Amino acid sequence: MAQAARRRELGRGDRVLPGVWRLRLPLPWPGVPHCNAWALAAGDGIVLVDTGMHEPGSMAHLERALEQVNLRLDHVRLLVCTHAHSDHYGQAAPIVERAGCELWMHPDHEHMRRTLEDPKAALAQRLEVARMSGVPEEPLRAWARERGSRGPGIAGLVEPDRDLVPGVEVQTDLGRWSVLHTPGHAPSHVCLHQPEQRLLISGDHLLGRVSLFYDYGWTPDPVGEFVDSLEKVDRLGARLCLPGHGRPFADVHAHVRANRELVDERVAAVAAALGDGPRTAFEIVPEVYGEGLSAANAGWWLQETLCYLVHLERRGEARRLAGEPERWEAAP
C-alpha cells in the first residue's frame, strides 16, 4: 500500500469532446496532484492550452498524455497559456522550441518574469512581506530554507509572440475562441470562450472545487479584480467548463456563485477580526481559516489575507498603521 501511494502519477490523455482532449499532468504539490493542459483540434494539428510544470521527467508526462490520444508534440501549431504560473507555463520554452510554434499569453506576466530573472530577490521580497505582517523569525527562516531549495518549476523565460488580450481570437476546428482578461488569481490570467459550443477554458479562475488564490503585490486589489472577473465569466452563460485542475464541469453559474460566497465569507471574517483592535495579518490568519500559519499553508494564506486587507482598505473599511510589524484596524 505504502509503495502504491508513493508511486508517482503519470501523464494521461482523454478525449472530452470531439476535437477536445484533456491532458492530465502530475504535479509535485501536496493537495494538488495534477493540472490539465487542453489539446484542441486545429486543421492538421492542435492548439495546446497550458503546459504543465517543468521538473525532472515532466516532458515525458506530456508526451505520454499526448500519445494516449494519438497526438505528438510536433502537432502543436500554437501554444496558448491561460496565465504565467509554473503549472500552466512551466514547459512553454521547450514546447515552443520543439514544436516550432508561437506562444500567445497575456502581457501582464511580470509576476513570473521577475521571479525567474532574480529568484533570490523575489524570495527576499516575500520574506520581507511576511516579516512586516508579523510572522516570527524562526518559522520564517525554516520556510525560506525550504523555499530556497526548490526550483521555479519553469524551464526558461519565453516571451509571448502575441499578446493574448481581448479582441484576439484562437482559431480551432470547434470554432473561434475569444479571450477574456480575468485577473485576480494572477495578473496575466485569461479565460477562453467558444460562444457557439458554449465552452469555457477557465485556467485557475474557476475550478470544480472552490479554491482561492491571489497573486499579492502586483495589482491594486486582486480580490476586487477576481470578483469582477467572476461576473464577467458569469455573463457568458457557458455550459461546460474545462478547468486548469480537476474534471470538466457543467453548471458554471453555480461555481461562480460558490466562489463569490467564499470570497464574501473571508472578507467578512477578516473585517470581523479587526473588530477587537489593531492586528497583524499573521494574527488574523487563524480567525479566518480556523488554524494558524504553518509551513504547508504559509505561501498561500498569508498573501490571501493581505489581499483581503488591501481590499477592505480600498473599500474604506480598514486602514494600516505604520510600524514594524504593520498592524491593521477597522476604519472608523
Least distance to Zn ion, CB of residue 83, Å: 6
**What's the min distance (Å) between Cβ of 278 and Zn ion?**
33
215 binds Zn ion (CB under 5 A): no
Given the rule CB under 5 A, which of 52-60, 65-73, 78-86, 171-179 is the region that contacts Zn ion?
A: 78-86
Q: For Zn ion, give the closer residue by CB, 262 or 331.
A: 262
Our CB check for Zn ion shows the closer of 245 and 279 to be 245
Place of cell 489539446: 39
How many angstroms separate the CA atoms of 278 and 320, rounded?
9
**Residue closest to 53 by CA, chosen among 25, 76, 83, 80:** 25
Q: Is 303 exposed, middle or buried (0-12, 13-18, 19+ CB in 10 A)?
A: buried
C-alpha cell at 272: 470581523
Q: Examine residue 225 and tell whether it contacts Zn ion (CB under 5 A).
A: no
**Minimum Å distance from CB 245 to Zn ion?**
6
Determine which residue in the list 24, 34, 54, 85 makes contact with Zn ion, applying CB under 5 A.
Answer: 85
Q: In one letter, which amino acid is 75?
A: H
What binding mask, one character per residue, do residues 189-208 give for Zn ion by CB under 5 A, x or -? ---------------x----
Per rule CB under 5 A, is residue 50 in the interface with Zn ion?
no
Binding map of Zn ion across residues 87-126, x = CB under 5 A, - = no contact: x---------------------------------------
Q: How many CB atoms lie within 10 A of CB 323?
A: 10
Using rule CB under 5 A, residue 222 touches Zn ion: no
Q: Is the CB of 86 or the CB of 305 nearer to Zn ion?
A: 86
Angle, helix 119-132 to helix 137-148, in steps of 10 degrees: 160
Q: Where are the beta strands (DSSP E) in 190-232?
A: 190-194, 199-203
User: What's the closest the beta carbon of residue 50 comes to Zn ion, in angstroms?
Assistant: 8
- Name residues contacting Zn ion, limited to 233-262 (CB under 5 A): 244
Task: By CB under 5 A, tell whether 283 contacts Zn ion.
Answer: no
Residue ranges in the chain assigned as alpha helix (H): 2-6, 58-68, 86-89, 92-99, 110-117, 119-132, 137-148, 222-234, 252-273, 281-289, 298-314
Give residues in contact with Zn ion (CB under 5 A): 85, 87, 204, 244
